[in-house]
A and B are shown apart, each in its own frame.
Chain A
Amino acid sequence: GAVVSQHPSWVICKSGTSVKIECRSLDFQATTMFWYRQFPKQSLMLMATSNEGSKATYEQGVEKDKFLINHASLTLSTLTVTSAHPEDSSFYICSAASGRETNEQFFGPGTRLTVL
């Protein structure tokens, strides 16, 4: 099956620092990658959609200057949380779509970010 990895699995950082999260599709080329955020006991919230080689499309209410997304290749997308604050503490999950007929998204294991 399709495998998506995320790195790091968890990160603790000080307020005001930046954190980069990597999302990789290991055995397929991902035409589209998605970044989600999930707060405790809530559902997934789509932050942005990115296609390789083009700018990401951000959902309403998501600050593009704060959450920088780069999709440099068909197997790698990165999310950088700039000037992180405690309210950015959350579970960040990426998913990747190969564009095949099932439209299925394959999820990474998630990254738990804690901002002190």
Chain B
Amino acid sequence: GQNIDQPTEMTATEGAIVQINCTYQTSGFNGLFWYQQHAGEAPTFLSYNVLDGLEEKGRFSSFLSRSKGYSYLLLKELQMKDSASYLCAVMDSNYQLIWGAGTKLIIKP
């Protein structure tokens, strides 16, 4: 079966760095996405990785290792507004997104 695993909840301090891990097992691979979702809102796109390596975009970076079926989202200089759920999603061979359950990130002052 297809499976996406990510931690249910993480807590971090304002100004710090946090890494959210995602492991996956899917039938085929056409890219991995990270989305941010605030409570009561739709997801917003953060990053897309299809090749191995690190993609940096401002305070957010995303890493992919296809051989290990592993990705992480790195958030630097955390701000209170970063409190949200972070969803990992993999596009399979049918170009369908397989979603993880999301990681709720709690930022404390």
Most central of A46, A93, A107, A108 by chain B CB within 10 Å: A107
Q: How far does the alpha carbon of A49 sit from the alpha carbon of B42 in the complex, in Å? A: 18
Q: What's the minimum C-beta distance from B11 to chain A, rounded to whole angstroms?
A: 17
A103 touches B42 (CB 8 A): no
> Known interface pairs A103-B31, A109-B41. Does A43 touch B99 (Cβ–Cβ under 8 Å)?
yes
B99 touches A103 (CB 8 A): no
A102 touches B48 (CB 8 A): yes
Complex interface: stretch among B16-24, B73-81, B90-98: B90-98
**In the complex, chain A residues 28-83 whose Cβ is within 8 Å of any chain B Cβ:** 34, 42-46, 49
Q: How large is the interface on A (under 10, 10 to 19, 20 to 34, 35 or more residues)?
A: 10 to 19
Per the CB 8 Å criterion, the residue count for chain B at the interface is: 20
Known: A91-B40, A93-B42, A102-B31. 14 other contacts (CB 8 A): A34-B97, A43-B101, A43-B102, A46-B96, A49-B96, A93-B43, A102-B48, A103-B48, A103-B91, A103-B95, A104-B45, A104-B48, A105-B97, A112-B40
Interface of B toward A, CB cutoff 8 Å: 30-31, 33, 35, 40-45, 48, 87, 91, 95-97, 99-102
